[in-house]
Amino acid sequence: MPASAVDIASVSGGKENTASGENASVSGGWINVASGENASVSGGYKNTASKLRSSVSGGSKNKADGEYSSILGGQNIEISTDSLCGVGLG
């Protein structure tokens, strides 16, 4: 890592959100968690991105628990397989 690089976790909006992984971010929503390195949650309710570069774009009660996994929306979707994308309508 370059000497000028800084590991920062950020929450930029919403309520009761947590970003604890290196360079993790939560953009908004309510009770969302980004705990993986470079993980992100864009919004929604009770979503979790817990592994390396995992992401949840929105929805509710979704869990991206695989490295490089993404959930684009929906409800109650859980992905624990690496490099998998889920889209929910439910």
pLDDT tens-digit series, residues 34-47: 999 999 999 999 99
What span, in angstroms and rounded, lies between the C-alpha atoms of 89 and 22? 31
Write down the pLDDT at residue 81. 86
Write down the pLDDT at residue 86. 76
Look at residue 25 and tell me if it is in a domain.
Answer: yes
What span, in angstroms and rounded, lies between the C-alpha atoms of 14 and 17? 7
Q: What mean pLDDT, rounded, does the chain reach?
A: 91
- The residue segments making up the domain with residue 29 are 1-83
Percent of the residues in the chain that have a pLDDT greater than 90, as a whole number: 81
- Per DSSP, the residues of the chain read --TT-----EE-SSBS-EE-STT-EE-SSBS-EE-STT-EE-SSBS-EE-STT-EE-SSBS-EE-STT-EE-S-BS-EE-STT-EE----
pLDDT tens digits, one per residue of 4-35:
566 799 999 999 999 999 999 999 999 999 99
Look at residue 62 and tell me if it is in a domain.
Answer: yes
User: How many domains is the chain partitioned into structurally?
Assistant: 1
Global pTM reads 0.89
Look at residue 10 and tell me if it is in a domain.
Answer: yes
Look at residue 41 and tell me if it is in a domain.
Answer: yes
The rounded Cα 19 to chain-centroid distance in angstroms is 9
Look at residue 72 and tell me if it is in a domain.
Answer: yes
Place of tokens 């817990």: 50
Look at residue 88 and tell me if it is in a domain.
Answer: no
Look at residue 13 and tell me if it is in a domain.
Answer: yes
